[in-house]
């Protein structure tokens, strides 16, 4: 179920509006919550591979529209993974707190 939902992210319609990053965040952010008892059905490696496949597919699909950053984070308050897409660079994303961009999703998914 989680892997299917992650895979569906590759086909979603995303807003790329460099002049309005807040509108991008509202439209392009996805909550990937799974019941605790179902989390054991998916390994960290499977989830990471699924996100990497989405990033690759989006890179190919959205390249003509301009640069885009697909990113994943763990929302501690919600207890869930979230993902989004933005025309902002990795160091410019609209988080209200400090964050450190990384290319390694394993600790985030864990």
Per-residue pLDDT tens for 54-97? 999 999 998 887 789 999 999 888 888 999 999 999 999 988 88
Cα distances from 83 to residues 98, 99, 102, in angstroms, run 17, 15, 14
Task: Give the global pTM.
Answer: 0.90
Contact 42, 2 (CB under 8 A): yes
Per-residue pLDDT tens for 72-84? 999 888 888 999 9
pLDDT at residue number 56? 95
Q: What is the average pLDDT across 7-31? A: 94
Domain ranges within the chain, ordered by starting residue: 2-109
Alpha carbons 107 and 78: distance in angstroms, whole number: 17
Contact 67, 92 (CB under 8 A): no
């Amino acid at each position: 179920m989680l892997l299917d939902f992650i895979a569906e992210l590759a086909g979603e319609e995303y807003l790329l509006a460099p002049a309005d990053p807040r509108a991008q965040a509202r439209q392009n952010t996805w909550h990937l919550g799974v019941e605790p008892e179902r989390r054991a059905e998916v390994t960290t490696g499977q989830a990471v591979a699924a996100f990497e496949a989405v990033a690759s597919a989006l890179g190919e699909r959205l390249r003509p529209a301009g640069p885009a950053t697909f990113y994943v984070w763990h929302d501690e308050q919600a207890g869930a993974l979230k993902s989004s897409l933005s025309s902002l660079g990795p160091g410019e994303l609209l988080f209200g707190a400090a964050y450190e961009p990384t290319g390694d999703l394993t600790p985030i998914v864990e």
